[in-house]
Amino acid sequence: YSNRLREAIEALNKGRNYYVDNKLYKLQADIELELNKYTEAEKNYLRAIYIVPNRMGSRFDLLNFYVSRKDTTKAAYWAKSILNMPVKVPSERIDEMLKETKMILEKIQ
């Protein structure tokens, strides 16, 4: 989608008529963030979370979005949400997300 962000969003919107996945919403949110469409980006990060509620990665993406926007209230909420999630499938990636989330929460509180 490089250098064709608006076309990419149109394609994602059409594609969601046939296939819905939290990765599509995350990709669209990432593109909207690049276009400085913060409200739309936030909505799509939230949609990604609720498509697969137990996915820590989606929550971590939303946490980083709020950190980048300097919205400490929402960042703290999602950081606590991540830290309170049960880990169903342990991995190095999960450990790294948890470690980074703890560091973020310590900085903003």
Q: 90: pLDDT confidence band, cut at 50, 70 and 90? A: confident
> In which residue are the tokens 């919107």 written?
13
Judged against a pLDDT cut of 90, whether residue 7 lies above it is answered with yes
Can you give the pLDDT at residue 106?
A: 97
Tens-place pLDDT, residues 61-87: 999 999 999 999 999 999 999 999 988
Q: What are phi and psi of 21, to 5 degrees?
A: -155, 150
Q: Looking at residue 86, what DSSP letter applies? A: -
The answer to whether the CB of 108 falls within 8 A of the CB of 72 is yes
Helix and strand numbers (H, E) in the chain are 6, 0
> Using CA atoms in the order 87, 91, 95, 96, what is the torsion angle rounded to 10 degrees?
-130
pLDDT digits (tens, 9 = 90+) for 22-69: 888 899 999 999 999 999 999 999 988 887 656 888 899 999 999 999
